[in-house]
Amino acid sequence: MASPKRSVTFGLTQTAASRKIFRISNPLKAQLKYAAQLVADTDLPGIDLDLSIIAMSDEELLEINRTSLKHDYFTDVITFEIERTEDLLESEIYISVERAKANAKRFKRTVELEIIHLIIHGTLHLAGYTDKTPTGRKQMRNRERWHLATF
């Protein structure tokens, strides 16, 4: 018996501050939705995903990191699971376009590919992957590489 058709509802918001750093184009937005769909299809089977992406500056994401997670440092991505039912996962992924630009330079790849990587990373968190332990980081990195290669 085939599994029921599932869907990904996708929205992207970009703050004014982040647009000054890097503007996410419509073609990139479509690629981000595709990346989230790819992860959802393979790592979140049987559940609809309602995903909101919020692109921000370093300072804006730092404020969320401080207030929501009590971490006082810059980060590139923060994932929040808003609500999970048997059929639906509502979530938000916050990314720093400033960190994405810095990471892209550091890893010698395009900013667009780095932002896609962040969306894959954030969606993998929703699937239960963690990067808090050495073993978890290794599993997460392997899965990220697989999705990037499949993408």
SS3 content of the chain, % helix, strand, coil (to 5): 55, 20, 25
pLDDT, residue 1, reads: 43
pLDDT, residue 5, reads: 58
Beta strand 77-84 with 88-96 is antiparallel
Mean pLDDT by 10 residues, the chain (151 residues): 68 97 97 95 92 98 97 97 95 98 97 98 97 96 96 84
Which of 75-89 are b and which e, b meaning 16 or more Cβ less than 10 Å from the residue's Cβ?
bbbbbbeeeeeeeeb
The rounded distance, in Å, linking the Cα atoms of 71 and 86 is: 31
Give me 83's structure tokens: 């609500």
Nearest-5° Cα angle at 70, 99 to 124: 55
pLDDT, residue 76, reads: 97
Give me 9's structure tokens: 């509802």
